[in-house]
Amino acid sequence: MDYVVVMAGGTGKRLWPLSRRKRPKQVLKLLDGQTLLYHCFKRLSPIFDTRNILVLTNAGYTSLVRENLPELPADNIIAEPAVRDTAGAIGLAATILAKSDPEATMAVVTADQMIEPAEVLQQSLKDAFVFVNNNPDSMITFGIQPSFASTQLGYIKYAAANKYPDCESTIYSVEAFREKPDEQTAKKYLNTGQYLWNSGMFVWKAKTILANLEKFLPEAIEPLRRIGADWDSPNQQQTLQEWFGKLPKISIDFAVMEKADNVYTMKLDCRWLDMGSFTALADFIGSDKNNNVVAAGASELLDCKSNIVVTEDKGHLIAAIGLENVVIAHSPDATLICNLDQAHRLKELLELIEQHTGEKFL
């Protein structure tokens, strides 16, 4: 059977003070009053039975996920007791699915992306499931046609193109994965026309990704085997708590995808955004006549241009005079004001805040 696993465990430090350790970016209500997690779920609902949609999140976020997705069965929310990066998270989801359905085919998507139109992703997922179910040793990743030389995203170098029966999408063999490049290298990638942005979304058989983890990350197998053996038993939570933290902390790209054979990619011809920063948010919200991007219920901007103004509090007025290229982000207990070209230093700022005030504002 076909399943989809939504990765919803990230915190989103670059959207502070809106996103916090206890309230991650995927549950912020910044887009039409709805969360990124909700938008992701609605994209998937037309092609997956709700019973086949799983959400993988941090243990501290489970109540937020239930609040956002009340229609999702409670057992479909899988709580990670520790942060172990994507290899451990995907291994956990694959272990759970393979135990109940040894022939499970699983998509992996992330909750913090915006994709328009949704139909593009839906068709590509359908094609990927057809391909993988007919080629069970293969793994599919989804690439985005670059629109600029990004230094914040990984890249996929693709090679031969192939058409497969019953698939509308063209499927390309993957030659290599590249990590986030410097600006000069990113421009080179863009100019060759042979590279795609790595979206971090995949389709594969659960047993196939587990076999690749065993081959390339063998230290993950004993924890996953222990967790799988006790899943759906009275010892489930105790074993998960004991063994999940022993999984290596590494991404699935580093652990498997850069080393594996039989890796293929599909191009997503769509508007795609990894919602990781305020400047990314600006790409999905229209600007006013002065190029100000405002996600707020009430604002008054006098002689202001090219600013980003954000709050979830629709009753809070944000007013400004004479500002240019500034971020103003308001939350009930903290406000960020910085030049747009300094927003990349948010992690540095959060380290200072933690030194001086502990975790109160994090």
193-231 pLDDT tens trace: 899 999 999 999 999 999 999 999 999 999 999 999 999
Helices (H) and strands (E) in the chain, counts: 11, 19
Among 218, 249, 276, give the residue marking a domain's end. Answer: 276
The confidence band for 19, taking pLDDT boundaries of 50, 70 and 90, is: confident
Q: Do 311 and 254 share a structural domain?
A: no
- Tell me the Ramachandran region of residue 322: left when phi exceeds 0, alpha when psi lies from -120 to 50, beta otherwise: left
At residue 277, the pLDDT reads: 75
At residue 248, the pLDDT reads: 94
Please give the single-letter amino acid code of residue 8. A
Backbone angles phi, psi at 108, to 5 degrees: -120, 120
Q: Do 91 and 124 share a structural domain?
A: yes
Instruction: Classify residue 197: in a domain, yes or no.
Output: yes
Check whether 11 has a pLDDT greater than 80.
Answer: no
Q: Do 148 and 79 share a structural domain?
A: yes
Q: Do 346 and 249 share a structural domain?
A: no
Q: Which residues contact 317 (CB under 8 A, 6 or more apart)?
A: 298, 299, 300
Q: Do 310 and 261 share a structural domain?
A: no
Q: Do 306 and 164 share a structural domain?
A: no
pLDDT digits (tens, 9 = 90+) for 77-131: 999 998 888 999 999 999 999 999 999 999 999 998 888 899 999 999 999 999 9
Instruction: Classify residue 310: in a domain, yes or no.
Output: yes
At residue 297, the pLDDT reads: 82
**What is the CATH number for 42?**
3.90.550.10
In this structure, are residues 354 and 12 in contact, taking their beta carbons and an 8 Å threshold? no
In this structure, are residues 30 and 308 in contact, taking their beta carbons and an 8 Å threshold? no
Instruction: Classify residue 351: in a domain, yes or no.
Output: yes
Q: Which residues contact 38 (CB under 8 A, 6 or more apart)?
A: 68, 69
Q: Do 71 and 176 share a structural domain?
A: yes
The span from the CA of 350 to the CA of 360, in Å, is 11
Please give the single-letter amino acid code of residue 246. K
Q: Do 37 and 137 share a structural domain?
A: yes
Check whether 234 has a pLDDT greater than 80.
Answer: yes
Q: Considering Cα of 296, then 300, then 306, then 307, what sign does the dihedral take?
A: negative
Instruction: Classify residue 181: in a domain, yes or no.
Output: yes
Six-digit token pair at 222?
């004993």
Backbone angles phi, psi at 162, to 5 degrees: -140, 145
Instruction: Classify residue 28: in a domain, yes or no.
Output: yes
Check whether 252 has a pLDDT greater than 90.
Answer: yes
pLDDT digits (tens, 9 = 90+) for 162-177: 888 889 899 999 998 8
Instruction: Classify residue 243: in a domain, yes or no.
Output: yes
Of 201, 195, 185, 202, which Cα lies nearest the Cα of 159? 195
The span from the CA of 335 to the CA of 16, in Å, is 9
Check whether 337 has a pLDDT greater than 90.
Answer: yes
Among 245, 276, 307, give the residue marking a domain's end. Answer: 276
Q: Considering Cα of 235, then 238, then 244, then 246, what sign does the dihedral take?
A: negative
What is the model's pTM?
0.87
Among 276, 304, 332, give the residue marking a domain's end. Answer: 276
Q: Flag the least confident range among 24-33, 88-97, 144-153.
A: 24-33
The span from the CA of 144 to the CA of 146, in Å, is 6
Average pLDDT, the chain: 90
Q: Do 226 and 93 share a structural domain?
A: yes
The span from the CA of 289 to the CA of 295, in Å, is 15
Instruction: Classify residue 24: in a domain, yes or no.
Output: yes
Q: Do 194 and 67 share a structural domain?
A: yes
Work out how many domains the chain is built from and give that number: 2
Instruction: Classify residue 362: in a domain, yes or no.
Output: no
Please give the single-letter amino acid code of residue 104. A
- Pairing relationship of beta strands 105-110 and 171-178 according to DSSP bridges: unpaired
Q: Do 172 and 49 share a structural domain?
A: yes
- What residue spans of the chain are helical by DSSP H? 36-44, 62-68, 85-100, 118-134, 183-192, 206-216, 221-230, 236-243, 252, 278-282, 346-357
DSSP secondary structure letters along 109-168: EETTEEEESHHHHHHHHHHHHHHHHHSTT-EEEEEE--SS--SSS-EEEEEEEE--TT-S
> What residue numbers bound the domain in which 95 lies?
2-276
At residue 71, the pLDDT reads: 93
Q: Do 239 and 303 share a structural domain?
A: no
